[in-house]
Amino acid sequence: MQKRGVAVFSITDHDTLAAYDHLSVPAGARVIVGIEVNTTYRDNEVHILGFGVRRDDARFARLLESNVAARRERIGQIVERLQSAGYAITLEQVVAEAGPARPLGRPHVGKALIRHGHTADIQTAFRTLLRFGKPGYVPSTHITPQEAIVEIDAAGGIAVLAHPGRLQDYAIIDELASCGLRGIEVFYPNHDRSQTAFFRQAAARLGLLMTAGSDFHDARYHKRGVGMEVEAADIEAFLNAVS
């Protein structure tokens, strides 16, 4: 992170704030407490970022516990389906990829598949095994994005729609804006120019704060590294709003 010159950062792990328990902030950098909450809505996986949430909020902690339990149940079902399709993989192998503090997710299944010789890389694992219509796909049963927005607000945070370019239905953006969504991740490595322009316009039209994120998960699978460059003026309003 220091090599990349990251000045402002947030570790937005899925459904956990554990990363902040032993975090050492580099000199001169600003850290914003954040999290990415998995939600499901109208056949879309919708990820809601919560910036500035209180880490000791008991109500928010219960929400995360519920999502983590749903994650484990889903991953167990994915493993069973992969086994039935002839892939020798176990839940214990997936848990080993996640580590002790991380909620389980499909990337951990992908890493286990790679480690045990079933596929070459994460992209191939998702494309051939873990997406809708593939042998290892199991739909998620998380809370709705509307519920996540309410809970993030109650925990003192700012709810932001993560990587909107991955949505199947952009109309969801307007719906969530009417339900208390406060920001949208306009700047994202996989957004092309037209998408970035569209989401910038949507932010202006709906009065949403603009944010940026690299969606960095693991150095082994994200070769571009952590962080991304954005104009300070584009995220100034967000930085002023978040605690």
Among 15, 134, 5, 3, CA closest to 69: 15
The distance of Cα 233 from the centroid of its chain, to the nearest Å, equals: 24
- Helix, strand or coil, per DSSP, at residue 135: coil
Q: Where are the beta strands (DSSP E) in 66-196?
A: 158-161, 183-187
Among 200, 224, 221, CA closest to 211: 200
pLDDT for residue 25: 83
Residue 135 has pLDDT above 90, yes or no: yes
- How do residues 84-129 score in pLDDT, each as one tens digit? 999 999 999 999 998 766 789 999 999 999 999 999 999 899 999 9
Confidence of residue 75 (pLDDT cuts 50, 70, 90): very high
pLDDT for residue 45: 86
Give the domains, in start order, of the chain with CATH numbers.
Answer: 8-64+142-241 (3.20.20.140)
User: Which bin fits 43, alpha (ψ -120 to 50), beta or left (φ > 0)?
Assistant: left
The whole-chain average pLDDT of the chain stands at: 91
pLDDT for residue 222: 56
- How do residues 13-40 score in pLDDT, each as one tens digit? 989 999 898 888 888 889 999 999 989 8
User: Is the separation of the CB atoms in 72 and 105 below 8 Å?
Assistant: no
pLDDT for residue 225: 65
CA-based end-to-end distance of the chain = 22
To which H or E segment does residue 184 belong? strand 183-187
Q: What is the pTM of this model?
A: 0.85
C-alpha–C-alpha distance, residues 86 and 13, integer Å: 31
pLDDT for residue 24: 84
Contact residues for 62 (Cβ-Cβ < 8 A; gap 6+): none
Mean pLDDT confidence for 49-65: 95
pLDDT for residue 1: 54
Mean pLDDT confidence for 137-166: 94
Percent of the chain exceeding pLDDT 90 equals: 71
pLDDT for residue 228: 82
